Amino acid sequence: MIALDSDVLIEILDRKSEKGSDAFKHLIDSGEDICTTVISIHEVLFGFYKHDKPVTDLLQLAVLSYSKSDAMLSSKLELEAEHAGKPIGRTDTMVAAIAINNNAILYTFDLKHFETLKSQGLQLFK
């Protein structure tokens, strides 16, 4: 299962984005089930509501929720990154924890933030 990060979702839902078209084709070619996280849904919905864009396509995706075990893991990931001198944003560690705990492969264009979490079990889609 591949979990789409908000940056990938935005590109795919932008019908004019070549980067989004390429990402969508890459997903289809993988043959994997596709989902997103409740955190990414929040981030994308905020922007769509703010700019009065339709949300129907976005709401059809399967969504992985944020659980207590995700909260426990994401707080540890955030603290470890901070101690290592490579702080990662809170929502990014939340998305990573959801992916790790659901054995999902994260598809993001923001590899800089997520690469360091591979040692913690995060799988990245390339």
pLDDT class of 57 with cuts at 50, 70, 90 = confident
Residue among 116, 121, 31, 17 nearest 7 (CA):
17
Please state, as a whole number, how many other Cβ atoms lie within 10 Å of the Cβ of residue 55.
13
Full residue range of the structural domain in which residue 100 is found: 2-124
The enclosing domain of 77 has a CATH number of 3.40.50.1010
Backbone angles phi, psi at 80, to 5 degrees: -60, -40
Tally of domains within the chain: 1
- Written as six digits, the tokens of 38 are 């409740």
pLDDT score for 69: 98
Mean pLDDT over residues 21-49, rounded? 95
pLDDT score for 53: 86
CA torsion, points 112, 11, 62, 28, in degrees to nearest 10? -90
End-to-end Cα separation, the chain, in angstroms: 13
